[in-house]
Structure 1
Amino acid sequence: MISMGRIKNCKVCNSTMWTGTDRPENLRKGICDWCMDNKTEEANKILQEEKELRRIMKGSPPKP
């Protein structure tokens, strides 16, 4: 049996995400499968903001 352990909360809906999901790429992004499917606009906005923040932290020039 695969143990299901709590991993973190979704950045969009704040629900608990669990290990053992069938889409681990969403788990890495911090957004649950339901939000990726049903609230894609909000999810993409959050991912874009994080990408922009990482770029700023690195000190890279802004993209045109």
Structure 2
Amino acid sequence: MICHHTSRRRAGHAAEADHRLRENGLPWLAVRPRAYSPRSIFVLSSESEIAARLRAFCTT
């Protein structure tokens, strides 16, 4: 897990996360802890179980 403070990219938080995910080409997932938070949490994992649990946690 990596906690990252966004850089105020012009297109917004989602564009910043997409940029970070694409530039590495690794199986990352990005989570924004709260609305209006400048933080992103990136989880590096190739396991589908981890991805499924993280998605379930974020949608509850």
Q: Which has the higher strand share?
A: 2
The TM-score with structure 2 as length reference comes to 0.32
Q: Which protein is bigger by CA-based radius of gyration?
A: 1
